[in-house]
Structure 1
Amino acid sequence: MEEGFKENMQTIKRLIIVGNGFDLDHALNTEYSGFKEYLLNNKYKDVFSLIPSPNYNHHGKEYFDNDELKCFLFREIQGDHDDEWKNFEERLGYLDFSENLFSLSELGNTDGNEWHDTEDNEDNMTNAFRAFSHLTSYFMEWLNDVVDEYNADTSSWKTKPSFSRLLNTNTNILDFNYTKTVENLYKFNNVNHIHGTLSDEDIILGHSHINQPTTEQFLGADDTIIELEQSLYKDTNKIICNNIDFFDNLYDVEEVYTYGFSFSDVDMPYVAEIINKISSNATWFLHSSRYEIANEENYVQKLKNNDFIGTIKEWL
């Protein structure tokens, strides 16, 4: 590498955006399909998707069967799809509980008692809400297992020279992963985990879909359905506001690198904010992994749709 190029690498202000593909490229088994299998790995995996009901111990304290909860969460998130959950978070915005609820037209059809059916709706959605309140803790439990397995075999810890060369005091990293792979492997700490890390008490997990208000469909359950949708909603505007110092500091960024970042709809507000803050002459480098190259045309279009007017290139 020429000396002039080395000096240029050290002085240019750059931002690196890291997504799940970064962890995958560093041998962590963090595909969402792994979380799917984690939820499926229980004794209820072949049963119908009933909303679980609570049990009570001898002190009268309420609790749920973990396997029942996992099975229910899997069935609801899976829906009618048969894939590997690449769009896992977006699925959370399109949950459908209609099979377990009485619609307005069905009230009273079973025993002639509309009030009884309304109470059933209320109880079922309350239990569904409680079940989904466990989703984040289950996700963190699964991911912690993945990280523990990875840490147990340090022979798989291999850094990427092309990435290492980008790291210096002028580099900022926006990390969408909950792991600390950058910090642990590259000993680099200028990292903003926009959605939190596994060492936090909680992480940010959710969808970006805002359902339009509709007429009441499931008497006794509608308010809880709305509450559940809101609890699973990823409020990107609020997150950006909470990290405004980070984004405001991007004003002189000349290079943006993405590594394993999929430009999913739920995360595009962050991309739009970055484009709004960085230099208008900035160059955006898309990592040339097999997956990212296959989606390059889509990524380029998303950048342009969000008013990026700089140069777009590939990097290895």
Structure 2
Amino acid sequence: MLSRIGNSLFWMGRYIVRAEHIARYTRVQYVSIVDAPLGQNREVILESILNMAGSKEAYFGVHDKLEDDKVIDFISISEANDFSILSYIGRIRENARGSRDNISIELWEAINRFYHKVNELMSAEMPSEEIEFFARRIEENSYITKGYIENTLLHNDVWQLISLGMHLERAIQVIRILQTKLEDIDKLDAQVNESALENYQWSTTLRSTEAFDMFMRCHKTSPTRSHVLDFLLFDTQFPKSVAYSMEGIKKCIEGIAFQQEEGKRESLEFMAGKLACRFQYLTIEEVEDRAPQFLKRTLDNVYELASLLDVKYLKYN
């Protein structure tokens, strides 16, 4: 397979997952401003949305202060933001177009419909109250697209590369959500830490990853820091956990016909296997007290793996 095609397939998978997670996080966090217990700070939540999406610096490059409508518009459809949800939908379509001969007609048509449906929702500006409807359309169409990926493609290198992109990006997004929420909780007043408000923050973390229902079935208790970190990092049966994604990354890399020198520690297979094994055998007790450092190290490792993949196999002139 040409590097150009592989690059398009890999990034198509990544952008599908990225758009979905940013849309869901924005929706859940913004709605939480209305539903939260007393003490929820509006500016903290708006800043949280920008931080999770990696758009805070770009936002303050064009706006002076945090305002509901401006933040929601910037994250969702603003042309001033190269990393808006709308821009990611456009990139999904462009990467699908670049690999058109390698994917099914059903998948291409689903992505094309996705793109046009989102563009139909555009207006001159996205009011904050519209984020619920807008984000749910992104989430629903993301799942439709992933259904066509799973059910209309041969499970060969094409499917493996798209799946690799999706697993890798899902790990990144869940880690970024956890990092952002830990920072948000650090901003709470000291007297409300370990209170209903902090537990509410962990509830919104679970809802931002579509994990609340399964968490309650597994733990049968109010969400706490320890239990939520354990579930989203180490539960090997939950598809949104980092451990599950790491195992998925490992299997995809093993299944793709990369030309690698066996036994090399710098190989993709070695790096992916090491990451997957780390999550298989670590426990929450070993990392809870240093969670921010652990999350940063893990994120750096995932980015390093993605960079190696890009340099060795997906880069093209």
TM norm structure 1: 0.30
Greater share of residues in strand? 1
The higher radius of gyration belongs to: 1
TM-score by length of 2: 0.30
More helix by share: 2
